[in-house]
Each structure stands twice: as C-alpha cells, then as structure tokens.
Amino acid sequence: MAESNIISPENLVYEKTSVMTDRILHYCPGCGHGTAHRMLAEAIDELGIQGDTIGVAPVGCSVLAYYYFDVDMQEAAHGRAPAVATGIKRMLPERYVFTYQGDGDLAAIGTAETIHACNRGENILIVFINNGIYGMTGGQMAPTTLPGMKTSTSPRGRDVATMGNPLKITELVAELPGTYFVTRQSVHAPANARKAKRAMKKALEYQKLKKGTCFIEIVSNCPSGWKMTPAQSNKWMEENMFPFYPLGDIKVPEQ
C-alpha cells in the first residue's frame, strides 16, 4: 500500500489546532513551552473563542509566543504583561485576555504588576511557566531557582544566605482576595498535559463570569539551561522541582 493512501480524513487521529500557526517553534528540543503553548491553544480552540481572545507575550524565551498563537497579541515590556493585559481588558471587557510569562518576567522584574493585577482581581488568565532559570539570556539564576541549584550566576549553587530564597509566588497570589482560581500543573507527560489543558479551559470559562484573576503555574524544564537531555531534565524536575513546587490546585472556587 502506497504511503499516500493512508493520508485521508477517515484515518486522521491527530490534528494540530488552528489556534497555533504553522511557524516552526524556536524552542530547544524537549522544552516544555511547545506543549504548554499547544494546551492553551487547544483550550482556546475547544471553547471556540479564537476571535475573542487577546494574548500578551512576555520577555523571555516565549517572547515570540505571538508568532505561534494565532490570536491577536501584544508584546509587553519585561515583567509588564499583567499591566498591559489590564489595559486591554479594561478596554475590551468582553474579550478573553491572557498573559503568558516566565519566572523571571513574572516573579522578579514583574512582581509588582503580578501582585497588583491579581489583587485587583483583573479578569484575566495568567499562565506562568516556572523552570527555575533564565533561558533566553543563557541560564542565569531565576527567582524560582532551587536552593543549591547551579546556574551561570550561581555557579556554586544558589546560596540562600546571600542570594535569597526561591519565591513561591503562586502560593502568594493565592492568598490575595482578587484571585479566583490558582493551580500548579505540568506538561511533561501526556496525562499532566491534559490536566493542564483542563485547568486552562476552566480558567477561561471562569473569565467569562468576571470573578477575578485565574493563575496557572506550569512547572517546566529547561534542558539547555539545566545542561541535561530532555529525558534527564524531566526526571530531574520530578525529583527536585515537584517536591518544592507541588502540583495541584491551590485555590479553587467555592462550589
């Protein structure tokens, strides 16, 4: 049987969501960004809100996220995505607005914008990718870098006495009255990715109810920055990141 014969609609088992463009992702092999993008795009697709969604890209590895999500997007200055999203949402309250930010962007330079957008209860979705390292700039220490973890700016391992402690910003925003749904997920295995997508869908549905900020942390990997193979990095993440950043819902709406 010729190869071309099996390419037909009835044999289709997987199709890329139309909410992602055809551009080739620039992310390193094994990086979690691609899967996280796809889960969010599929959530938008399944809710049928592609034309009603506006995203905000950060500064960091996912700075070019606007090339991959096929929705209208704005590129924010480093750390300012929640403020930009606030401006958008206040102008277009019926649109679905999300930010997609890394740990340096969200939990270091953008801490004030993150905390205050959450505290105001802006009706936006914040997707927070936490891999404990600055990927784009070449593997420097992040606010979420684990104690003892080696990076290019903590070459002997993060010394909490001088470099401070990793910031559990997700637990922090969960304490704020403005947040409605706060959860920590991962996308490193199919079951986890599906769960993350369900959380994203739920968050976007909540946004319609105007109940406050939804905040989804994705604990992720960085094979290049961590200097590991993709498989090693996932294993290291499970063994080291998950104990410190345990997966699961942190704040769920009262039923």
Partner 1 sequence: MKELRLMKGNEALAEAAIRAGADAYFGYPITPQSEVIEYLMRENPADRTGMQVLQAESEVAAINMVYGAAGCGKRAMTSSSSPGISLKMEGISYIAGAELPCVVVNVVRAGPGLGTIQPSQSDYFQAVKGGGHGDYKLIVLAPATVQESVDYVKLAFELAFKYRNPVMILSDGIIGQMMEKVELFEQMPRSTEEYEWATLGKKPGKDSVIVTSLQLQSEEQEKVNLRLQAKYREVEKNEVRFETYACEDAEYLFAAFGSCARITRKALDMARAKGIKVGIIRPQTLYPFPVDEINRLAGQVKGILTVEMNAGQMVEDVRLAVNGKTPVEFYGRFGGMIPTPDEILKALEQKIIGG
Nearer to partner 1, 88 or 199 (CB): 88
Nearer to partner 1, 146 or 176 (CB): 176
Closest to 89 measured CA to CA, from 253, 213, 217: 213
Given a contact cutoff of 8 angstroms between Cβ atoms, the answer to whether 24 and 42 are in contact is: no
**Distance between CA atoms of residues 17 and 19, nearest Å:** 5
Nearer to partner 1, 19 or 219 (CB): 19
Of 100-108, 113-121, 147-155, 168-176, which segment contacts partner 1 by CB under 8 A? 113-121
**Distance between CA atoms of residues 131 and 217, nearest Å:** 10
Nearest approach in angstroms of CB 118 to partner 1 is 11
**Distance between CA atoms of residues 180 and 182, nearest Å:** 7
Among 95, 168, 184, 197, binds partner 1 (CB under 8 A): 95
Q: Does 63 bind partner 1 (CB under 8 A)?
A: yes
The helix or strand, by DSSP H or E, that contains position 17, with its residue range, turns out to be none
Of 32-40, 48-56, 153-161, 210-218, which segment contacts partner 1 by CB under 8 A? 48-56
Q: Does 53 bind partner 1 (CB under 8 A)?
A: yes
In sequence order, what are the residues at sequence separation of 6 or more whose Cβ sits closer than 8 angstroms to the Cβ of residue 171?
Answer: 250
The helix or strand, by DSSP H or E, that contains position 112, with its residue range, turns out to be helix 111-120
Given a contact cutoff of 8 angstroms between Cβ atoms, the answer to whether 127 and 43 are in contact is: no
Residues numbered 187 to 246 that lie near partner 1 (CB under 8 A) are: none
Nearer to partner 1, 92 or 231 (CB): 92
Nearer to partner 1, 22 or 254 (CB): 22
Among 33, 37, 38, 80, binds partner 1 (CB under 8 A): 80
Say what angle helices 81-91 and 111-120 make with each other, to 10 degrees: 30
Return residues touching partner 1 (CB under 8 A): 50-54, 56-57, 63-64, 66-67, 69-77, 80, 83-92, 95, 112-113, 115-116
